[in-house]
Structure 1
Amino acid sequence: MSMNKSSSEINEQIKDAIDISDVIGSYITVHKAGKDYKAVCPFHDDSNPSLSISTSKKIFNCFPCGTKGDSITFVMLYEKLSYPQAVQRMIEKFNISVEGFKITEESKSSKKAKVLYKINKIAADNYFVNLFSDNGKAAQKYLKTRGIETDLINKFEIGYVSENDNNLIEVLRKNFSLDEIRESNLFIESGSKFIPFFRERIVFPIKDVEGNVLGFSGRIFDKGKDKEKIKYLNSKDNQIFKKSEITYNLNNSKNVISKKDEAIIVEGYMDVIALDRVGIQNTVAIMGVAFTSGHVELISKFTKNITFMLDSDNAGMNAMLSIISDLESKSKNYGGLKLRFVHINDSKDPDDFVTKFGKDETIKLIENKKTSSMFTMDYFESINDLNTADGKVAFKNAMFVSVSKVNNLTDRKLLLQEIAFKISIDIETLVQDFENQYSRTAPKHLEKSEFSEAFNPPELFEPQKYSGFEIQEVFQNPMDYVSKTSVTIQDLLKNLDWTAAYLKSQELLIAAMIRNPALGYEKIKKAQVLFFTKHHTDIIKTILKIYKNSNYNDDDLDLIISKVKEYKKEYLIPIIEGIYSGIDIFFKKEKIVKKLKISSKVIDDSISTLELRRINKDIFTYQDTLVNAKSKQEATTLLENVNLLLKKREKHIKKMKG
């Protein structure tokens, strides 16, 4: 874009070409008030129409919050655009010509994107109409069972694609070339036929901030008929649809986010709609658990306060831990983010929580959001048995990583006091322990040169040197891996992600004992001593006992659950079912085998990962003791042990790399 005239001349041309009430009215609802107009101000938490719009003066003004300006200013503020971007947006949106303003080459090259927007808009309208046809009655009925009535269907423009919908392709063929239709990815081409990609699914249009339809997500709803199908099916990536860079509902929620100065991040479309149903409208779905830099840049235009309310399963919890690890250190890069986290108790996701507990409890849950440190503490307390010495040590070591990232000394001391209370130890001892691990001062009786190598952080894996896909699953959430996000093993093994990797290894071994017990029984029986969280340890011991006594066939979850009940361990059932379904999603998505059987490689890699944890734990134990050695001889002996373990770890990692 270039400007041959001054900005004041361009401003006048635009203001003369289109009435300010029409510009603002294209974004928010405006009401006639005498010769001028009024509207609820989108720039502060306004309940009365405080925004005055003068058509004669060509300005708007909100007296309570002080925001004012002309139509271009409004577009700049509302859409978070620079002046040249706002001018170009208005020229394109209202189809006006401005002398002295040249459309950039980049804008001309967006013609292809505009074609795709048009195709998707026609498709969205077609799907919406289909939902209210005879073909869509079953889909409508399903939506009502989920609490989604007509008002919400209209707001989110939910649609339905029937099995033999030929109307859409006929309309598109009259207006677009076959290449343009193919580029939209709305159809599967079979000979001369164009089969709808989202056939027999309820569809949710996914829009950009300006409301352009970028693509769709289709959901199955007939469990009996669709049991073999993937639950959600997203548009394939093309020029305008890039899943890692877009969100669901930001076009609807951006103004509420700006007003409340907070965005609530959820995983799915149904979560957004359920929260909207109870009046919580500052929500955005990231369509999975991967929160990328593209998402941060998009949302941080509207607020720096981001609250994560992901699902309560292992995938959601591990994702929030990864977000803490990744974003806390990068917060300043985005202007200082303030991150908060919501743990959904007694429900699997926000949609489920809203349905079970209603509006007031949901609002209360969100109001009780936690800082990253307190969320991390709650999580590690839940997976470690603080009634045992091992559980307390594991909890303490995991929390020390979090404490080490807190720069404010007062906050750090408060956090250490909370940890000390949790594990019933005096604060002075805990502080000394923390300083010993993280101060890097030389142990007594040894020169720094003698011990420095023994305190090097654990080596990180290099994913490009890894062989086989199976080990990747150990270190990544299944959905992250399937959607091929940019998350690497190196990312996941930093700090708290070591724990995520170890947890996933336990889950894979549990899944192996359900899916293909004969393959892994002997190896896993020996490896059960490597399990380190109470519930996972209880589960693997119970399942090994069931297999030994019952010798069940592959993939007999029902028998396992019935036996778990016999053993009076019902509290383990939700965890077993969660692991079972999570692993199932991964392997089905990868289409490795029709009837899932976990391979020997998965089992070996998982056991190797837990063995690595044991080695690291031994290293850290010796390091703790080394710092407080009472004599030169004791320090030297301990140092030799640490160095032997370091060599053992190096050899183990090389073996894992293959």
Structure 2
Amino acid sequence: MGISKLTTDKVKERVDIVEVVGDYVPLKKKGQNMWACCPFHNEKSPSFSISPAKQIYKCFGCGKAGDPIQFVMDIEGIGFTEAIRHLAGKYGIEVEEDQERTPEQDQAQSERESLYIALGFARDFFVKNLQTEEGKSIGLSYFKERGFTPGIIEKFDLGFALDGWDHLLKAAKSAGFQEEILLKAGLILQKEGDPSRVYDRFRGRVTFTIHNIGGKPIGFGARILTKDKNQPKYINSPETAVYHKSDVLYGMYQAKKAIREKDNCYLVEGYTDVVSLHLSGIENVVASSGTSLTDGQIKLIKRFTDQVTVLYDGDSAGIKASLRGIDLLLEGGLNVKAVVFPNGEDPDSYSRKVGSQAFQDYLQSNAKDFIGFKIGLFKDEFTRNPIRKAEVIREVIQSIGKIPDPIIRSVYAKEAATLLEVEEDVIHAELNKSFIKNQKNQFNAPPEPYEEQQTGFEEFLPTEEKSSFAEILKVQEREMVRLLMNYGWEKLDQEGLHLCDYLLAETEELEFTTPVYTKILLTYRQILRRGEVPTVEFFIRQKDDEMRQEIIDLITPRHEVSTYWHDKHQIFINTETDNLSLTGFKTILRLKRRLVQKMMEEAKQKIKSAENEKEGDAKIEELQLIYFELKKVQLEIDKELGIVIG
């Protein structure tokens, strides 16, 4: 069933962009805006801007932009209706359903929403199973043996899948779920050779609910409690439309707040490790769920912190096999530490063995940066074998080379030289060789498309010889539309003339060459004719993605002048708003100048064609006259703009 317009309007009125984005990434105030490293792509310095005044976000790196609703849609990968429901839940707004929708329309809900509903039903079903006789004697008994409290069981939505072929299937079908949705959600399986026979995927196992970052169930992990060698210890949900293993970390929903507050993320391997650390009072912990680390998981951690501490079981062979994960973390721009537990122990067993306080003390006192950890791991080997030492040096240098920050690289190179007892110059020489090799590979790769950065000042534009008239015109058209959107309703004089009146009047007979600006101007004029005010909010909420993205780009400044210049140092900077009349006048002149230049170029081409085709002196003289008249117009405009041409 759809959401009523009243609910949608309440959400739009109540939401705050800073609060919404702040749930996912740490924000820092700079000037009037908030800034963060973009959650949608990997970057070292913040280019993700959040405007509290305009209630929009804009990334100057990847181009993502929108309002709070669009942010939730982008970050969660959900539709508009789901985003409204998510925000309504966050702000305690009662969701009113659209009563005008028919049962047929209700049945036609999106597949993603149906999957979320089915997975939520399965989560509740598994949790309730813990109260059955079988669930109490097997599932609940297992959790109690591990020391899991009722609060922890509820916090992580732990449950139990009854030992039978179709307990969940029958319950779900009775509740109105179709087999097709249950199959797509990964909750049931089809028998090989007989697709008509279906049965539960999870049977006779304790279940661990996997949540997305917003708290919705998206999959399950399930552990068998018997010693059946024919059955795997753990089975997991398959990839679905809502569950992508490479982008998910178990426990991130429960941990994200603590990770942000502690500015550190503990990374473990299994579900029970995460739950046990929460029991020990450590909530900033997530698990890769037994899979190799992926770029998506690393980016997920980086949304909340730059510090990660990897917890390793006391098994040196297993540690050495998983060292590639450290290199991936370093490459992702994270600062990495590691803790190794005593031989035969893992985070789960050791936390239960020593108790909460001793466990926390152990983590604090045994955390080593990745250089000390990696060298210490191989120290016994290279002490006895000089050749092995050379190999370890190269491996350590390879790891240091993954670090994107040159200052941090230099610090680790110095530490590595000390620990390995080699000259620091040797480390740097090997690092340089590695960089030269990487650069050669990059030069051989196909070049990336160049994306021009608009400065907003004509003086810094490319020369006409290097840029086409279409590109130059686009810049001036963009500048005119930017002024219109940012200051259109500012008054220019005592008579009540608005900047939008002047700009629209001066461009009424001009034909814009950039389609998106043509579309924006057409929409702006149509709204004015209806007697309404064309607000920025109206454009941002348009369904036209191209127009909405362009408007956000136009109203989001990349740089701000620090308030310290004026308040502390008494340095005064002229801005475009000091004299909007002059700003608008010069903007229109620059636009017309480019149009005149375009017409002059067209006249020159026609003269050349006429000469080649021998159309006669009269025709050529006519075209030359047009060219020189246009030249006069350009010189008049140049004079007004103060442009001097030798």
Q: What TM-score does the superposition give when structure 1 sets the normalisation length?
A: 0.49
Q: What TM-score does the superposition give when structure 2 sets the normalisation length?
A: 0.50
Q: Which of the two has higher C-alpha Rg?
A: 2
